[in-house]
Structure 1
Amino acid sequence: MKLSRLYSNKADRFEPVDFESGLNVVMAEIRLPENRNKDTHNLGKTTLGRLLDFAFLAGRDSKFFLFKHFDLFKDFVFFLEVELQDASYVTIRRGVEEATKISFKKHRAAHQDFSTLPLQEWDHQEVPFERARDLLDGLLDWRVLKPWSYRKGLGYLLRSQDDFRDMFQLRKFAAAHADWKPFLAHILGFNASLVAKHYEKEEELTKKQSTAQTIKNELGGSIEDISKTEGILLLKQKEAEKKQKLLDAFDFRAQDKDRTKQLVDGIDERIAALNGERYSLNQNRKKIVASLEEEQIQFNPDEAERLFEEAGVLFRGQVKKDFEQLIAFNKAITDERRVYLQEELSEVEADLKRVNAELSVLGKKRSDTLSFLSGTDVFSKYKQVSDEMVTLRADITSLERQRGFLHRLQELRTEIRTLMDERGHLQTQIEADVEKQNSDQTSLFSAIRLFFSEIVEEVIDRKALLSVSPNQAGHLEFKAEILDESGNATSADLGHTYRKLLCIAFDMSLLRAYLDDKFPRFVYHDGVFESLDDRKKENLLEVIRRYAELGLQPIITLIDSDLPTRAEKQGSVFDESEIVLRLHDESEQGRLFKMAAW
């Protein structure tokens, strides 16, 4: 399948572009000296690739130039004529104003002009957008891409400047790796089904793990054992049944008996024990307080000295000094003991507070129970038991909800383990498939990597290595590296110039590998010679011509200043028949659209 013609309903503002079967050159000539040092010239060589994408039914994007400048282009209708595998043609009609209504017409002759053909004479008229994509997918019949649509591979066939940044992950593949890696694996000859399933299992696993975490959060972070929950629920349910029977029979004798037993066996015994504990604590408190009050040293050395003098005993200060030292020593011991006594007093008072609080609660409970037993109003008892049933039912509902969460959590854990096993099995299969395709010298991947290396070597006299390997997570990693003389990878591929060369080599090696299959034959490369030195430009042009002779349709764009200087001195680099579009900066007539720059 090749491109044949691109035209519009306004030939005076957009002249038809008739593509050749082999090499096609879009030449932009910078004729004004003041424009020679500019990075961009807005002549339209890049815009042509965007128009081709639009004609191939790219989705509507407000940033796309046709819609961004809608007032300028709303009256345009574009027509793309495509040569099919059986040498017939199909023309795709798409307008800017009604971009989601597509028409198709098949025909036998090339280079037709259906810009004035009435809609009713088209084979398919104003087909809705998604249906039109499906219809075009069938007409193009790029069956090698199945189960993917023709749109999936267009990014490698219409390379803009932005698409030279990464050889494998195109700008349109900015989404998750699961969106493009299986497709890339497929066109390189690997088992894409395994890769896609691996991503699916991983996504499903992530969702299950997220759901499990949500359930854990619902349970408040504490996950009880399912057996314990079931046990508590059973007891609550049995208790509820008993109370319900009691309510149904309107008989409270059993309830009275239970309350009496609870009062005698439980509450009174606990109150007695607490009273004993309170008595003991009060006694301890009294002793501690007494100790704190008694431990005061009453001896005064000054008074003792005065008494000795009155008695006529010579004191001379020494005895007074010894008494003061003794008092200081005893005071130090007393202070330390007081600290311990104060701490013990605090603990006793805290225990007394706790005991008194519990005695207060038990006293109230004892009073309520006695009130129930001595009550003569049966409806009051009925109301009390009914209130208890409400609480029980609320507990049972909460436990049943918790049980449901725990059952679901157990199911999720089982599913997660199963998914992890399945993912691991798929990872093993992927690794085996990658090893097989890498080691098989007759595999499609081996052919592509050979063509790829040959192209790079012919241009820069260095071999290049295309490699595919699974990482620790089982995801495929695609790499392209330029090798030095010893066969070791270098960092040369990191520069923009060589990165662009690798992209060109990759796209062309793909087309050559599928030369005998139902696969597109054209490829569009924008600014193909930029940044290369003269010798490499010549080498690349030789490769492009050779691939055109093999039956491919390379479409390249360049500025005249990027032409190989030596080849240009020897004569014209391109035949006039190869230059399908010549642009220049002298006037609006030199632009792709014959109008002022927007």
Structure 2
Amino acid sequence: MKLSKLYSNKPDLFETIFFSSGLNVIQGEIRLPENKRKDTHNLGKSILGKLLDFCFLSKKNAKFFLFKHEQLFNQFVFFLELELEDRSYITIRRSVTDATRINIKKHNDSHQDFTQSTHWDHENLPFEKAKEILDSILNFYCLKPWHYRNILGYLLRSQDDYRDVFQLKKFASKHKHWKPILAHILGFNSDLIEKHYELESQLNDAQNREKLVEQELGGSIEDISQIDGLLLLKQQDVNERQRLLDKFDFHSVDQAKTKKIIDELDLEIATLNKKRYSLEFNRKKIELSLKKQQILFDPNEAENLYREAGILFPQQLKKDFDQLITFNRAITEERNKYLIEELSSIKNKLKNIDQTLSQLENERIQTLSFLCETDVFDKYKQISNELITLKADISFLERQREFINKLQVLRAEIRQIREQYQNIQIDIERDLEEQNKKETSLFSEVRLYFSRIVEDVISRKALLNVKINQEGHLDFSADILDEAGRSTSADDGHTYKKLLCVAFDLAILRAHLKDNFPRFVYHDGIFESLDDRKKVNLLNVIRQYSDFGIQQIITVIDSDIPLDNDIFFNNNDIVLVLHDEGMQGRLFKLPSW
């Protein structure tokens, strides 16, 4: 598929553009001296790519120039004529005011004018339906299951799309929206890559649900066997209390509570008091030790005392005493550190024991109160309250069991998804290795064409590479190589980055010449920043690829044309000249907006 003609219902305001099958140059000429130093000239040469995208049924966007300045363009209707693989033609009609209603017509002859036509094969089509029909007519079977618009970004390169060879401005969203289609175009198994992203999404979703369930559990027990055991015991207590209430007999309860006081509460209270006594004793010993640890011997005072008594106090002896004191002081500081830590631990233990003793004493008092209670109705009321508490505990445990069951199901699902995810990743790695090693693979073809284009322009080889990143996804890179075959940073500059983009687009088209695939590419400002020799080299590549059957539409400013090359373009190359001498020189013969 190639471009044949672009026109509108207002030819006096938008000049019709007839495209040749080879090189098509949109040339801007800066004729006024005061404009020669300006970076932008508002001629409209860069708008042409956006207009082509509009005619290829891009989504309506309020920021798009036709809709942003709708008062200027609301009367415009645009027609794009395309040449198909079988040498037949189709024309797409799209208006500004009713941009979501599309007309499509097939015809056998080129350069038709359907501005007044009332007969269309497909008329007033809803937007999405129109894209489906256009996709079926173009029949880019090697793109399936993707749509024709998925490849257009690489065929209509604006200035914003030269920042990255692979990730276009329209692909600023998640990688899963563009990496599979790019991998498919390069000959990799895109089904695996799509499945990999799908499983990753499922895995993230399952793991997020797992976290929510864990939060519901609140960090409590996750052993369902333990939950079932607690439920069994609680249910037994409920049955026992219900039986007592039904019989109105509390004798066995009295026995049980008496046994609990003797066998449990009193014993635990005694044990804790004994432990408390031991801890208090240790606490006081540590506090006394921390107070008493002082070194009372002072070598300087001893030396003065010996001197007054007329007795020799050797200097070496004083030095030994000083070292001994320093040593003891270091040991004391280290010992104090551990004593302080132990004291803090003892105080925390005493605090916990006091709290536990308080709870046990309250329970003992309540139990004794129950045993001393003579009013049977008060006992009935107390056991009823205990029954309510037990049932609430059972309800909580059952809810915990429900969450744990859900958690177990989720974890099983996560294990299953993770296993599938890892298996798919292994398959992707195998496919990547196979396409890299196979000299006749589509990827190898693109690689060779890509490097050859760059070498023909700047006499340096370039490497197109695809690898697996740490997340297990494909990463695409394009690097200019030095003489030793090592990657350099030359591609970091805007000029060479643009060259790599152009080389990539052309390499893709050439590798797919055997397929029913687009045969055109649009590059805005293709020669900007290149030196004159490289411009000539690039133009030779462009002409060579035109001979291969690839239609190229490029935009240039006359200042980009080498000064010493009067025949850089011939008359047949230039399909539209724009200039700065009034509105008639612009793409749209309208005031600047």
Shift of residue 105, structure 1, vs aligned partner: 1.3
2:12 alignment partner, SS class: coil
Q: Matches of 2:353 and 2:472 in 1, distance apart?
A: 63
Please state if 1:251 is matched with 2:247. Answer: yes
Q: Which of 178, 181, 184 is the equivalent residue of 1:180?
A: 178
Q: 2:28·2:579 contact (CA, 8 Å) conserved in 1?
A: yes
Q: Matches of 2:79 and 2:407 in 1, distance apart?
A: 58
**1:8-40 Cα deviation digits (max 9, x unpaired):** 222221121111111111011110111111111
**1:509-566 Cα deviation digits (max 9, x unpaired):** 1111111101000000000110111111111111111111111101000001101222
Change beyond 3 A, Cα 1:386–1:57: farther
Amino acid at match of 2:248: F
The match for 1:15 is 15
Shift of residue 500, structure 1, vs aligned partner: 0.5
Shift of residue 364, structure 1, vs aligned partner: 3.0
Please state if 1:539 is matched with 2:537. Answer: yes
Change beyond 3 A, Cα 1:223–1:176: farther
TM-score with structure 1 setting the length = 0.82
Q: Which of 488, 496, 500 is the equivalent residue of 1:498?
A: 496
Amino acid at match of 1:582: V
Q: Matches of 1:91 and 1:553 in 2, distance apart?
A: 18
Unmatched segments (≥5 aa) in structure 1:
285-342
Q: How does 1:481-496 map to 2 (within 5 A)?
A: 481-496=479-494
Q: Matches of 1:441 and 1:222 in 2, distance apart?
A: 59
Q: Matches of 1:597 and 1:5 in 2, distance apart?
A: 25
1:40 alignment partner, SS class: coil
Amino acid at match of 2:570: D
1:132 alignment partner, SS class: helix
The match for 2:571 is 576
The match for 1:264 is 258
The match for 2:330 is none
Change beyond 3 A, Cα 1:393–1:592: same
Q: Matches of 1:279 and 1:534 in 2, distance apart?
A: 97
Shift of residue 237, structure 1, vs aligned partner: 2.9
Q: Matches of 2:67 and 2:49 in 1, distance apart?
A: 16
Change beyond 3 A, Cα 1:122–1:283: closer
The match for 1:417 is 415
Q: 2:276·2:353 contact (CA, 8 Å) conserved in 1?
A: no
Q: How does 1:156-171 map to 2 (within 5 A)?
A: 156-171=154-169
The match for 1:37 is 37
Q: 1:7·1:15 contact (CA, 8 Å) conserved in 2?
A: yes
Q: How does 1:353-392 map to 2 (within 5 A)?
A: 358-371=360-373, 374-377=374-377, 384-392=382-390
2:46 alignment partner, SS class: helix
Please state if 1:470 is matched with 2:472. Answer: no
**1:341-398 Cα deviation digits (max 9, x unpaired):** xx99999999889757743542233223443xx3354xx6665554444323322221
Please state if 1:198 is matched with 2:196. Answer: yes
Q: Matches of 2:157 and 2:264 in 1, distance apart?
A: 87
> How high is the sequence identity, in percent, across the aligned residues?
54
Higher mean alpha-carbon deviation, 517-526 vs 345-354, is at 345-354
The match for 1:57 is 57
2:565 alignment partner, SS class: helix
Change beyond 3 A, Cα 1:273–1:443: closer
The match for 1:287 is none
Q: 1:24·1:580 contact (CA, 8 Å) conserved in 2?
A: yes
Q: Which of 134, 154, 163 is the equivalent residue of 2:152?
A: 154
Q: How does 1:202-351 map to 2 (within 5 A)?
A: 202-244=200-242, 250-253=246-249, 256-267=250-261
Shift of residue 271, structure 1, vs aligned partner: 7.0
Change beyond 3 A, Cα 1:209–1:279: closer
Q: 1:92·1:103 contact (CA, 8 Å) conserved in 2?
A: yes
Shift of residue 269, structure 1, vs aligned partner: 5.9
Change beyond 3 A, Cα 1:271–1:12: closer
Higher mean alpha-carbon deviation, 582-591 vs 409-418, is at 409-418
Q: Matches of 1:116 and 1:185 in 2, distance apart?
A: 43
Q: 1:216·1:223 contact (CA, 8 Å) conserved in 2?
A: no
Q: 1:534·1:566 contact (CA, 8 Å) conserved in 2?
A: no
Q: Matches of 2:269 and 2:432 in 1, distance apart?
A: 81
Q: Matches of 1:19 and 1:559 in 2, distance apart?
A: 19
Shift of residue 275, structure 1, vs aligned partner: 9.2
Aligned residues: 528
Amino acid at match of 2:151: G
Change beyond 3 A, Cα 1:407–1:591: same
Please state if 1:595 is matched with 2:586. Answer: no
**1:263-314 Cα deviation digits (max 9, x unpaired):** 3212366676699899999999xxxxxxxxxxxxxxxxxxxxxxxxxxxxxx
Amino acid at match of 2:8: S
Q: Matches of 1:347 and 1:102 in 2, distance apart?
A: 81
Please state if 1:142 is matched with 2:137. Answer: no
CA RMSD of aligned residues (A): 2.9
2:564 alignment partner, SS class: helix
Amino acid at match of 1:589: Q
Q: Matches of 1:473 and 1:396 in 2, distance apart?
A: 45
Change beyond 3 A, Cα 1:240–1:128: farther
Q: Matches of 1:114 and 1:541 in 2, distance apart?
A: 35
Q: 1:3·1:522 contact (CA, 8 Å) conserved in 2?
A: yes
**1:64-98 Cα deviation digits (max 9, x unpaired):** 11121122222222111111122111111112222
Unmatched segments (≥5 aa) in structure 2:
279-343
Q: 1:281·1:352 contact (CA, 8 Å) conserved in 2?
A: no
The match for 2:88 is 88
Q: Which of 442, 445, 459 is the equivalent residue of 1:444?
A: 442
Q: Matches of 1:272 and 1:531 in 2, distance apart?
A: 93
Shift of residue 223, structure 1, vs aligned partner: 3.8
The match for 2:281 is none
Higher mean alpha-carbon deviation, 77-86 vs 388-397, is at 388-397
Q: Matches of 2:5 and 2:376 in 1, distance apart?
A: 104
Amino acid at match of 1:70: E
Q: Which of 432, 435, 450 is the equivalent residue of 1:434?
A: 432
Change beyond 3 A, Cα 1:359–1:477: closer
Q: 1:29·1:583 contact (CA, 8 Å) conserved in 2?
A: yes
**1:140-190 Cα deviation digits (max 9, x unpaired):** 111111111111110000000000010011111111111111111110111
Please state if 1:405 is matched with 2:403. Answer: yes
Q: 1:89·1:106 contact (CA, 8 Å) conserved in 2?
A: yes
Q: Matches of 1:441 and 1:545 in 2, distance apart?
A: 27
Q: 1:55·1:93 contact (CA, 8 Å) conserved in 2?
A: yes
The match for 2:509 is 511
Shift of residue 224, structure 1, vs aligned partner: 3.0
The match for 2:312 is none
